[in-house]
Chain A
């Protein structure tokens, strides 16, 4: 096959190597990211679903119909049931209002229960992981209930009317979650024992959870069918609704990987386009010769198409192999650090990798090669003849459409794609103007400096068009790399910021005014810093502007259908921001009570400053005017309230107190001391949830870090391709200079300076572009605070200059090592 022979000869001559490498890299980057992210995402979703102990769950306030269980069995969906309620537990004279959770045999469907045979042990030798709950007649309990009730493992514990044997201490429970639903220590029992406790009576507050797990292809159809069968009191819950903070972490991780894939693709595409352009330039004369030898346009088109397709096939297969290898390395690195189980990614990422190779070639390589068959044969006699190639505009347009289509296909996020692409092209236009401006400035500087500088700038100016084009290419690569690294660090910072090492991890609720001093002293004695004691009054919002809210509003705002916690504070809490209105000192408090409302609730209720709100506090009326609207950082793990009153407003309503505090593991026994002294205080242990979130964030951060390395490789490839593409005329000029007697050092220095100037100019353009692009991303996609990045302004130009200079020197090393005659003869 002639095209195969030609392909081999072109390969051997080195003309295809750059194109093939760029293509290989494109497929490697795309497939490695696709396979890895798919695997990581699968693992993360599954791992985060262990926070539910299931893939999905149905939450209800009443028991489930047996028919539902049968339908899950029929659909091949695994299920388990948990029943949660508060119940008094007893041992002898002592008692404690515990958070009881009855679990069926299959619980947990995902994740593991960590149990121990002794309380408060953190020694792994004492802890075992199991995939089942307690059997009938058994109770597994939180460690702190043992001293609270004065019992040991093996003793009996009374739950309602039933006596059960404590057989294990619960160290970690996958679906413990946060929330204020049930207070008190955990007592886990088997669902078979629930009836005997006689706790469930008409009117009891019971939460029934039906846990479901199955592969997506079985679960999704089952769920869509199930949704129609659920009553209004039964609600389907996934991670997003159950664990808001976690879901956001995962979303950000996904967004970053999407962005990384897109940038990787853009860079690889750029490298392919440059390599193809270079290939086309070198082959224009060859095509003219082939035509003079009697080849028609059709034969030439067919020959080149076949060669390209063969190249695409080979490069794609190799790229897929390299991508697979690379993602295995990454996966191995990730799994060696974190205990995460990665599953087979499925066929889609592999298909995507292969299709990307072909699409990249079609969209990036074809336009620069398109004119080859139309090269006039007379060019063989008149080499100076200009050939009409496909216009840069059409090439760019085709590339843009291709990238857009591929990225949408890949990220399935049109907003992200549009933001990046639009900003990108605005930046390119501005950058071209900027590069011309920099060239002018450089000329002035160059004319005043030493001879090597003058030589370098003279060369840049002589090829003004090419200089601008190269600056844009370098700038694009540097800009994309800068954007990606900044986004990565800001994401990781954000995760760290959200949950600092000493974030409060325990909440104390229901502290009576008489207990406040004791709690404060206890914490101070242990050297612990609480987030402050907040008074709390439970009340229901009953009127807005003296009228009862209508049904439509009640449907829309869930706060109208339940009790809320009211509090007061003299100062605005540190993580709150006043959005409208004034804080207490600027309000006339003699005019009546004022309340500051959280912005989400204010929006749901349509509240504005000056509106009057009526609350019912255990039958007593409380009226207040909206004095301000504020935002609240709910993820800060500090006590926060929808309604904050001015000091003294709630004095007549018998408040209790609430606080949150960071308690390190070694000091957790203080909880026992506190609860033995005041069993009515409710303690919520959020430390396990926080630990889980932090592990997950660390996994995502590491994954994205490795992906960044891949994209960096693509960026370097673009720089190399661009440097190589410009080498022919540079080599020729340098060889002529050498032939005319210029010393090697001078040529080397001026080449280094030329490339450094190019890289530094590109760096300046890149930093400006990166700031604009980041602005767009921060504002519309990531919704993170806008900020400038001063480090980039140094790193961009300097890094760009040095990197490009090194590559330039490497590519032009031959011109100083080989005799000039040889170089000139080869060109």
Chain B
């Protein structure tokens, strides 16, 4: 088994706009080891979310490739990438992305059901208990606070036991107390499950807890630093 779970090779992303082609990402290279935590930081509009989308196989790069657990995303079609996401990837979003018509339990069960897991309910209950929401199983998203909703989202992400978890501003919609709790939870689960964490964040507190920090500016990699004194890992 390869040491790195994510290998980003010279990816660029250009989109066509009315004013002509717009380069959002240019020649990004780095790799992430299995079980590591990585923070992608940068100003608004620097291309963080676009990069996250490409790393997770939600979007395609204009050039370059991403090897996710050794699988070339550029070689896969959408169906292939979906299958890979189902197998390897979990998500946590800034806006939680819970389905409003589903209870907390059903929201966590959904990916397990989609993957045909027969123990969906048991697993979902277990993870909701793990995030401290065992009393809130039957509650709907609008009956939960922002912090609780994000905990449901984390339970949903970890319940399918992904190898790698992508989080897009996971504390962006939360106050600092709730944000701190979510950060704790994410890292605890990261440790417990050995899941690789890729975070897009503005929050210094969160970025500093990650082992690796990737800083973007205007779509270019400004700095790839090891926040815990490890060697940078070039392509």
**Taking beta carbons and an 8 Å cutoff, which residues of A are in contact with B?**
2, 5, 9-10, 12-15, 285-286, 289-299, 376-378, 380-383, 825-826
Contacts and interface: CB of A to CB of B under 8 A. Distances in A.
Given A292-B58, A377-B58, A381-B93, A299 B114 contact: yes
Nearest to A10: B101
Contacts of B168: 381
B142 A286 contact: no
Instruction: Name the interface size band of chain B.
Output: 20 to 34
Interface in B96-143: 97, 99-102, 106, 110-111, 113-115, 142
Contacts of A12: 101
Contact of B58 (A14, A285, A298, A378): A378
A19 to B, nearest CB: 14
Interface stretch (B48-56, B190-198, B225-233): B48-56
A294 B59 contact: no
A731 to B, nearest CB: 14
Nearest to A12: B101
B82 A294 contact: yes
A2 B113 contact: yes
26 contacts: A9-B101, A13-B100, A15-B101, A286-B99, A289-B99, A292-B58, A292-B89, A293-B110, A294-B82, A294-B86, A294-B87, A294-B89, A294-B111, A294-B114, A295-B114, A297-B78, A297-B79, A297-B82, A298-B79, A376-B58, A377-B59, A377-B85, A378-B53, A380-B58, A380-B91, A380-B97
Nearest to B54: A378
A159 to B, nearest CB: 84
Given A2-B113, A378-B59, A289 B53 contact: no
Contact of B53 (A2, A298, A381, A826): A381
A295 B99 CA distance: 15
B83 interface: yes
B233 to A, nearest CB: 25
A80 to B, nearest CB: 67
B102 A9 contact: yes
A286 B58 CA distance: 14
B33 to A, nearest CB: 23
Contacts of B102: 9, 13
B99 A2 contact: no
A826 B58 contact: no
B82 A825 contact: no
B93 A826 contact: no
Given A292-B56, A295-B82, A826-B100, 6 more contacts: A5-B113, A293-B110, A293-B160, A294-B86, A295-B86, A297-B82
**Highest count of chain B CB atoms <10 Å: which of A294, A295, A378, A826:** A294
Contacts of B82: 291, 294-297, 299, 377
B50 to A, nearest CB: 8
A5 B114 CA distance: 11
A825 B83 CA distance: 33
List of 4 A-B pairs having minimum Cβ-Cβ separation, nearest first = A13-B101, A294-B86, A296-B82, A378-B59
Contacts of B87: 294
Contacts of B97: 285, 289, 380
Contacts of A377: 57-59, 78, 82, 85
B115 A294 contact: yes
Contacts of A298: 79
Contacts of A291: 58, 82, 85
Nearest to A383: B95
Nearest to B116: A2
A728 to B, nearest CB: 12
B91 A293 contact: yes
Contacts of A825: 142
B78 A296 contact: yes
Interface in B23-61: 49, 52-53, 56-59
Given A14-B101, A826-B100, A296 B79 contact: yes
A479 to B, nearest CB: 35
Residue among A296, A381, A383, A826 with max Cβ neighbours from chain B (10 Å): A381
A381 B113 CA distance: 23
A9 B101 CA distance: 7
A117 B219 CA distance: 107
B22 to A, nearest CB: 14
A117 to B, nearest CB: 75
A826 B91 contact: no
Contacts of A293: 85-86, 91, 110-111, 114, 160
A5 B109 CA distance: 11
B99 A381 contact: no
A256 to B, nearest CB: 43
A249 B87 CA distance: 70
